């Protein structure tokens, strides 16, 4: 019962936070439109069928079922009747292009203001940062990395020429690198050596990763029905301590051990509810690969330790960090052939909501920080000069001002409807991959967290779960 209440609270918090971001955006349009004495017919949060609506002073206020947008219906602005419905038959005078530009710009501007105010709150309440030093765990003796001399306990200090202090930094720099062969600086006993390592694409998370793991005990987050693991009595939440009498310190090490023992009975020690338990499991023989299969999904340790940085980053540092991340992402997309990052790796509404749920469940301050990221993203993406988005409204108004006469309304309607179809198609495309990543989000939601009151740690994040083996 407690678990259901927790997930209900997380879901409610996510809806309120996501709704708040949309609300302030549309409120910006609304307030400036009223200030410029423009005709306002509707103020809607969300898209699709109405949940609730009320008409006041000639304006219909509504909340709709799809929490992926919203609109203020302004018949004097460029609109699409296909998206927002038909306007009233009463004729309204055209609004000057300057008013249209101000109204369109007000939405993204409000998101930036909201992000800044949330960042101010974070500065005072602090920001938890995961403790995840970039220390290497198990290294397979037969791997190319081991043959180069890399050993367990070595520390990664730079990837692709950029300093790192956590596995989050390692994974981010690896993903954004414009080549699969990446320079990795590794330190051992005060001596640093540069290695050129090959990164490989991970199908689960959709980005390339180094063939190196952090030092950690993997945890079973899912057991396949009818698998060798289920027959042995293993359960989700079990933390694997050893397999076939070999201490386990990394998920890839465990995968490697399982693959080497098809059809062989093996002892596996796990920690469950604070107790150390022993089971005997026989990995299934896979005739296609001739490897052993256990039938589990793995993730690193479910307990994540955070250190509270208080005061948190200044609002300027926080927003600058978000802009830097967005810049790296756009650069990686532009150089997709080199980085391997494409549109499928972006998040749609499902991915955004899932990410927000993970942050909310972990700590409210992390959720607030995600809200900063979300609002800055909404502001910048909405300013792209694409019809349907605010940047498209601004572009159309600028063209109208240059031409000194209104644009042809049929052309505007076709442009907006056409780009709306493209935008919705793109959202469906990225949402398809969001659904493929749901097991990853499910695993992250199962992580517990512990926040410690200390000064200033290095930023980090949990590595992604390994696929079913």
Question: Could you give the CA distance from residue 24 to residue 39 in angstroms, rounded to a whole number?
Answer: 20
pLDDT at 106 over 90: yes
Render 326-395 in DSSP notation, one character per residue: HHHHHHHHHTHHHH---GGGS--HHHHHHHHHHHHHH-HHHHHHHHHHHHHHHHHHHTSS-TTSHHHHHH
In which band, very low, low, confident or very high, does the pLDDT at 275 lie, cut at 50, 70 and 90?
Answer: confident
* C-beta of residue 170 within 8 angstroms of C-beta of residue 462: no
Tell me whether the CATH fold assigned to 133-213 matches the one assigned to 217-299.
Answer: yes
In which band, very low, low, confident or very high, does the pLDDT at 82 lie, cut at 50, 70 and 90?
Answer: very low
Buried b (16+ CB within 10 A) or exposed e, 64-96: beebbbbbbbbbbbbbbeebbeebeeeeeeebe
Peptide bond connecting 311 to the previous residue in cis, omega within 30 degrees of 0: yes
Q: Which residues pair with 449 in a beta bridge?
A: 304
What is the tens place of the pLDDT at every residue in 39-65? Answer: 888 888 887 888 989 998 888 999 888
Q: Roughly what angle, to the nearest 10 degrees, separates helices 2-35 and 97-125? A: 140
SS3 401: helix
pLDDT: which is higher, 433 or 117: 117
Per mean pLDDT, which range of 13-17, 116-120, 381-385 is the poorest? 13-17
A 10 A CB-CB count for 330 gives 11
SS3 238: coil
Domain boundaries, the chain: 1-129+303-455, 133-213, 217-299
In which band, very low, low, confident or very high, does the pLDDT at 368 lie, cut at 50, 70 and 90?
Answer: very high
* C-beta of residue 27 within 8 angstroms of C-beta of residue 106: no
* Homologous superfamily of domain range 217-299: PDZ domain (2.30.42.10)
What is the CATH number assigned to the segment(s) 133-213? 2.30.42.10
């Amino acid at each position: 019962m407690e678990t259901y209440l927790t997930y209900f609270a997380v879901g409610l918090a996510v809806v309120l936070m996501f709704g708040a971001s949309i609300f302030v955006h549309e409120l910006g349009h609304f307030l400036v439109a009223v200030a410029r004495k423009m005709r306002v017919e509707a103020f809607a949060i969300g898209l699709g069928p109405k949940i609730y609506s009320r008409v006041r002073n000639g304006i219909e206020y509504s909340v709709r079922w799809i929490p992926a947008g919203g609109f203020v219906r302004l018949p004097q602005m460029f609109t699409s009747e296909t998206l927002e419905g038909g306007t009233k038959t009463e004729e309204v005078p055209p609004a000057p292009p300057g008013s249209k530009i101000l109204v369109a710009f007000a939405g993204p501007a409000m998101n930036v203001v909201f992000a800044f105010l949330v960042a101010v709150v974070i500065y005072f309440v602090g920001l938890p940062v995961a403790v995840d030093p970039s220390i290497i765990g198990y290294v397979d003796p037969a791997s190319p990395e081991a043959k180069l001399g890399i050993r367990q306990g070595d520390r990664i200090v730079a990837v692709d020429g950029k300093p790192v202090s956590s596995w989050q930094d390692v994974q981010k720099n690896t993903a954004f690198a414009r080549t699969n062969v990446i320079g990795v600086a590794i330190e051992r006993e005060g001596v640093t050596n540069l290695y050129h390592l090959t990164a490989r694409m991970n199908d689960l998370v959709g980005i390339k990763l180094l063939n190196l793991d952090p030092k950690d005990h993997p945890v079973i987050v899912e057991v396949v029905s009818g698998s060798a693991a289920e027959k042995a009595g293993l359960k989700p939440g079990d933390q694997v301590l050893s397999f076939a009498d070999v201490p386990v310190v990394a998920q890839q090490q465990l995968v490697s051990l399982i693959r080497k023992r098809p059809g062989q009975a093996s002892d596996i020690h796990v920690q469950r509810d604070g107790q150390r338990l022993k089971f005997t499991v026989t990995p299934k023989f896979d005739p296609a690969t001739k490897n052993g299969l256990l039938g589990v999904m793995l993730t690193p340790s479910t307990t994540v330790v955070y250190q509270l940085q208080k005061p948190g980053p200044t609002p300027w540092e926080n927003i600058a960090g978000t802009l830097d991340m967005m810049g790296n992402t756009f650069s990686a997309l532009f150089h997709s052939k080199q980085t391997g990052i494409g549109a499928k790796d972006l998040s749609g509404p499902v991915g955004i909501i899932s990410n927000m749920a993970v942050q909310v469940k972990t700590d409210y301050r992390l959720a607030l920080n995600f809200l900063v990221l979300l609002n800055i993203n909404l502001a910048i993406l909405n300013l792209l000069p694409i019809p349907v988005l605010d940047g498209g409204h601004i572009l159309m108004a600028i063209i109208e001002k240059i031409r000194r006469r209104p644009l042809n309304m049929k052309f505007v309607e076709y442009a907006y409807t056409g780009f709306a179809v493209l935008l919705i198609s793109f959202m469906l495309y990225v949402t398809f991959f969001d659904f493929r990543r749901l097991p990853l989000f499910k695993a992250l939601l199962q992580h517990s967290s512990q926040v410690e009151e200390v000064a200033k740690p290095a930023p980090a994040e949990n590595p992604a779960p390994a696929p079913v083996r």
